[in-house]
């Protein structure tokens, strides 16, 4: 146990050292992570996967043939829950209407979902650092499947409320997938793999409109959504564990000396693991270095902008453009397609800017503000979709840039926890953002638009000030640490 604590302490001490020297470290959004099952791949397997990564120069032209098995599995795990959601969501909306769930009920349910995620995301992320990614991914797939099943079986409001809990609390596979990418891909390849994940997310968003013509009942939608998540569960066994498993093994070895003095296994072991994960999340959130706070500020601001503007979007679509259910389906399919396209080009764009993403992020953030403003004032459906494409494309590049930056500054031992803390920021914005947007809109219809546009200007200024000052030095310091560790390992290998 003492060794495990030392391992954690080293990561935090390294972060404090960076902050004291005017540098820092940071996590990935709202979006933010999640493992060990028995009989897992060893750390050397993860190392061989990393070596294989470097042996393949994969341009987008040869994207599919060059993907490794773990990349394909991660993409499946990313697509599955989103595909399930887009298929079952129209029936979930109809069920809410049948059960008399009004706007206040829907808003409360959304806030409750965000509140559960606020607790669940960093907890599962820290657990994945301690127990391995695969267990956390399996939990997430099962939670998604259970939630979809409950939607299919729901015939009352209590069951509908119950269906919110499993996925919101435990299904954070997209965040874990990003942590696993950091484990298995080399730094120069992470932007490309993160782009593939974003592409997969966009494809998952388009599955619903494609499948819905062949699905005629809520139970059929439930069977599809549940089935695709159980299928992804079977694929998890073929994933390598990544470096999180090595850290977890070290901690378990350190605990062996104490195990003879404690009750064996059982619920006490589970409670102990959860408690250690909670403490790690607190340390990551409270003792975050400067670079982490810069990225946390960026991610929280982006999520707040989306949720505050959400009220305006719903009014525009419903009242100005008279959207019907089929129009909403096409709307979300367009978002998915545009986001997927942004991921196809984001790798090349992000790699072009290298370690310093400042001059990429600032134009994208300003583009988000312009796109939101055009959306709020236009009366043309064609201009609306043009502004939507502009906004979604910029957001896709920003999200991938942030995720890539996090993998460059976070230590391997707390990658999942950092991802989870960042995802927690998104959940918090999901709780308070819609309420703020609604209050602003009730005061004046233009108030939320002006606040959001001003927010993007503030975010741009924050990036321009914080990235060169804290984030870039943190990346360089981590690269120095990594180089020193490799040199030490090479020297030790030569002496042996």
DSSP string, 420-441: HHHHHHHHHHHHHHHHHHHHHH
pLDDT, position 113: 82
pTM of the model: 0.60
Distances (CA, A) of 263 to 4, 248, 249: 19, 20, 20
Cα 414 to Cα 324: distance, rounded to the nearest angstrom = 45
Cα 139 to Cα 141: distance, rounded to the nearest angstrom = 6
Cα 191 to Cα 353: distance, rounded to the nearest angstrom = 11
Triad 298, 393, 177: Cα angle to 5°: 65
Q: Which two tokens stand for residue 471?
A: 């984030």
What would you measure as the largest C-alpha separation in the chain, in angstroms?
74
| CA-derived radius of gyration, the chain | 22
* DSSP code for 185: S
> What φ, ψ does residue 332 adopt, rounded to 5°?
-70, -35
Surface-to-core class of residue 483, CB atoms within 10 Å of its CB (0-12 exposed, 13-18 middle, 19+ buried):
exposed
Q: Are 280 and 33 in contact (CB under 8 A)?
A: no
Cα 343 to Cα 330: distance, rounded to the nearest angstrom = 20
Number of neighbouring beta carbons within 10 Å of residue 4: 19
Q: Where are the beta strands (DSSP E) in 134-199?
A: none
pLDDT, position 150: 92
Tally helices (H) and strands (E) across the chain. Answer: 19, 0
Give me the sign of the Cα torsion angle 424, 427, 428, 429. positive
Cα 408 to Cα 474: distance, rounded to the nearest angstrom = 8
Triad 305, 307, 312: Cα angle to 5°: 95
Q: Which two tokens stand for residue 188?
A: 């120069």
3-state secondary structure labels for all residues of 437-496: HHHHHHHCCCHHHHHHHHHHHHHHHHHHHHHHHHHHHHHHHHHHHHHHHHHHHHHHHHHC
What is the full DSSP assignment across 50-73?
Answer: HHHHHT----GGGHHHH--HHHHH
Q: Among candidates 311, 316, 339, which has minimal Cα distance to 328?
A: 316
Q: What is the dihedral of CA 353, 356, 360, 366, to 10 degrees?
A: -170
pLDDT, position 1: 35
| Mean pLDDT in consecutive groups of 10 residues from the start of the chain, 496 residues | 36 32 30 27 31 35 59 84 82 79 70 78 77 86 91 89 89 81 78 75 77 83 89 83 50 44 45 55 63 86 88 78 73 83 84 89 95 93 94 92 84 67 75 79 86 95 94 87 81 76
pLDDT, position 263: 42
Q: Among candidates 5, 14, 6, which has minimal Cα distance to 291?
A: 14
Q: Among candidates 380, 32, 55, 364, which has minimal Cα distance to 186?
A: 55
Cα 166 to Cα 156: distance, rounded to the nearest angstrom = 17
Distances (CA, A) of 2 to 8, 43, 417, 476: 10, 22, 20, 30
Cα 96 to Cα 157: distance, rounded to the nearest angstrom = 8
Residue whose pair of structure tokens reads 């030490």 in the numeric block: 488
Q: Which two tokens stand for residue 55?
A: 């042996």
- How far does Cα 416 stand from its chain's mean position? 10
SS3 289: coil
3-state secondary structure labels for all residues of 76-111: HHHHHHHHHHHHHHHHHHHHHHHCCCCHHHHHHHHH
Q: Which two tokens stand for residue 362?
A: 């600032």
Cα 6 to Cα 12: distance, rounded to the nearest angstrom = 10
Q: Which two tokens stand for residue 411?
A: 């230590």
């Amino acid at each position: 146990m003492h060794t495990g604590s030392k391992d954690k302490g080293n990561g935090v001490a390294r972060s404090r050292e960076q902050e004291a020297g005017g540098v820092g470290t940071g996590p990935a959004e709202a979006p933010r992570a999640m493992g060990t099952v028995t009989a897992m791949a060893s750390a050397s397997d993860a190392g061989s996967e990393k070596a294989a990564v470097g042996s393949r120069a994969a341009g987008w032209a040869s994207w599919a043939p060059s993907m490794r098995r773990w990349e394909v599995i991660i993409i499946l795990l990313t697509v599955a829950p989103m595909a399930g959601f887009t298929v079952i969501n129209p029936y979930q909306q109809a069920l809410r209407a049948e059960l008399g769930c009004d706007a206040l009920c829907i808003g409360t349910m959304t806030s409750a979902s965000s509140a559960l995620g606020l607790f669940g995301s960093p907890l599962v992320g820290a657990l994945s650092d301690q127990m391995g990614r695969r267990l956390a991914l399996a939990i997430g797939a099962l939670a998604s499947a259970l939630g979809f099943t409950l939607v299919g079986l729901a015939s009352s409001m209590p069951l509908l409320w119950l269906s919110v809990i499993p996925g919101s609390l435990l299904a954070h596979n997209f965040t874990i997938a990003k942590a696993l990418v950091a484990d298995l891909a080399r730094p120069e390849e992470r932007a490309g793999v993160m782009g593939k994940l974003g592409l997969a997310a966009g494809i998952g968003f388009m599955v619903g409109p494609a499948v819905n013509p062949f699905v005629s009942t809520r139970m059929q939608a439930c069977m599809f959504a549940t089935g695709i998540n159980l299928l992804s569960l079977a694929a998890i066994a073929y994933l390598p564990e990544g470096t999180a498993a090595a850290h977890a093994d070290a901690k378990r070895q350190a605990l062996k000396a104490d195990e003879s003095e404690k009750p064996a296994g059982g619920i006490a072991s589970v409670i102990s693991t959860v408690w250690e994960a909670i403490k790690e999340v607190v340390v990551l959130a409270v003792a975050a270095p400067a670079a982490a706070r810069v990225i946390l500020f960026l991610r929280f601001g982006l999520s707040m902008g989306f949720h505050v503007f959400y009220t305006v979007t719903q009014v525009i679509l419903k009242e100005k453009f008279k959207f019907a259910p089929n129009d909403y389906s096409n709307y979300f399919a367009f978002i998915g397609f545009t986001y997927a396209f942004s991921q196809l080009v984001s790798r090349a764009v992000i790699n072009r800017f290298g370690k310093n993403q400042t001059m990429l992020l600032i134009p994208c953030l300003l583009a988000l503000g312009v796109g939101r403003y055009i959306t709020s004032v236009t009366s043309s459906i064609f201009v609306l979709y043009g502004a939507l494409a502009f906004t979604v494309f910029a957001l896709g590049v920003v999200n991938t840039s942030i995720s890539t930056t996090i993998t460059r500054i976070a230590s391997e031992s707390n990658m999942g926890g950092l991802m989870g803390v960042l995802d927690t920021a998104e959940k918090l914005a999901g709780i308070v953002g819609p309420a703020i947007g609604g209050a602003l809109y009730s005061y004046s219809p233009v108030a939320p638009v002006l606040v959001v546009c001003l927010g993007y200007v503030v975010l741009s200024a924050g990036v321009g000030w914080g990235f060169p000052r804290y984030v870039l030095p943190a990346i360089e310091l981590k690269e120095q640490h990594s180089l020193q560790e490799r040199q030490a390992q090479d020297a030790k290998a030569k002496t042996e």
